[in-house]
Amino acid sequence: MTSLRNSFAQGFFGRAFAVLSAANAAAAAVEGHRRPKDRDLKTLGINPADLPRA
């Protein structure tokens, strides 16, 4: 049971870290008047096709 708990915690924290990192990268791109990377948008649950290519 402990290994199941540990894998859940690692998965949860890994995913949370990925989302926070993607949000930080996307925010920095927008502030720098650049388009965020598709990978970061997908991590945040945003369809990259919904953002303009400006």
Domain ranges in the chain are 2-50
From the CA atom positions of the chain, what is the Rg in Å?
Answer: 15
pLDDT at 51: 84
Question: Is the pTM of the predicted complex or chain greater than 0.95?
Answer: no
- Are 43 and 19 in contact by the 8 Å Cβ rule? The answer is yes
User: In this structure, how many other beta carbons lie within 10 angstroms of the beta carbon of residue 41?
Assistant: 20
More confident residue, 1 or 7: 7
Q: Amino acid identity, residue 8?
A: F
3-state SS assignment for residue 32:
coil
pLDDT at 21: 96
Q: What is the pLDDT of residues 26-52, one digit of tens each?
A: 999 999 999 999 999 999 999 999 988
